[in-house]
């Protein structure tokens, strides 16, 4: 289990962490070095003040909202490119599937479902959102389109990502480094 001693490894979710078992690229995030650092619960991933949980069960959008809520979280909000890239890296190394994003559309305006705030960052696949049959009011990270976004019917079944904030100041962890410290950024490492 050497790969998990210095890193939180994506494969921990499904119980595989032996370097000899993983001849492909695996996602790692450095563990915080100070005990005062904010941490997420087991199987949650930390990024920029939030915790993320990949849920591998297939649900409708509204079922996913309720499951995240039961964890004290919401379906993932994607606020900027850095967060989008982090989530896409997680998903590329999880189960190859579509994942819900916590936003819905009404009259061609996209809002986060839980807060009703207008979405300001987008990563739509070319030609999306296409509002096919005028009944695609929910958004996903699409596995067949390199996890760019697409609009889909809310009653379809997808996997999902929950997100919740860490209440402790992330600056406690930086220890003399600025907020762009690579200690908190995802890295892809080739495991041979």
pLDDT at 175 over 70: no
Q: What is the DSSP string of the chain?
A: -GGGTSEEEGGGGGT---GGG--S-EEEEEPPSSTTS----TT-EEETTEEEEEEEEEE-HHHHHHHHHHTT-EEPP--SHHHHHHHHHHHHTS-SS-EEEEEEEETTEEEETTT-PBP----BPTT----GGG---EEEE-GGGTT-EEEE-TTS-EEEEEEEE--S-THHHHTTS-TT-GGGS-EEE---
Question: What fold, for 48-167?
Answer: Mannose-Binding Protein A; Chain A (3.10.100)
pLDDT at 17 over 70: no
The predicted structure's pLDDT at residue 132: 87
Delimiting residues of CATH 3.10.100.10 domain(s) in the chain:
48-167
pTM: 0.70
Query: Best-predicted range by mean pLDDT among 11-15, 32-36, 131-135?
Result: 131-135
């Amino acid at each position: 289990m050497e790969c998990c001693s210095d890193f939180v490894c994506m494969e921990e979710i499904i119980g595989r962490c032996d370097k000899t078992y993983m001849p492909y690229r695996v996602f790692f995030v450095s563990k915080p070095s100070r005990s005062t650092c904010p941490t997420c619960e087991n199987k949650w991933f930390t990024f920029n003040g939030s915790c993320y949980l990949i849920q591998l069960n297939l649900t409708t959008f509204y079922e996913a909202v309720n499951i995240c809520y039961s964890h004290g979280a919401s379906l993932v909000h994607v606020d900027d490119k850095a967060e989008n890239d982090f989530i896409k890296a997680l998903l590329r190394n999880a189960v190859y599937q579509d994942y819900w994003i916590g936003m819905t559309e009404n009259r061609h305006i996209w809002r986060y479902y839980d807060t009703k705030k207008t979405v300001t960052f987008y990563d739509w696949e070319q030609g999306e959102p296409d509002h096919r049959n005028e009944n695609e009011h929910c958004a996903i990270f699409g596995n067949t389109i390199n996890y760019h976004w697409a609009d889909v019917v809310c009653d379809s079944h997808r996997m999902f990502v929950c997100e919740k904030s860490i209440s402790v100041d992330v600056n406690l962890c930086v220890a003399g480094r600025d907020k762009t410290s690579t200690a908190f950024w995802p890295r892809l490492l080739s495991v041979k």
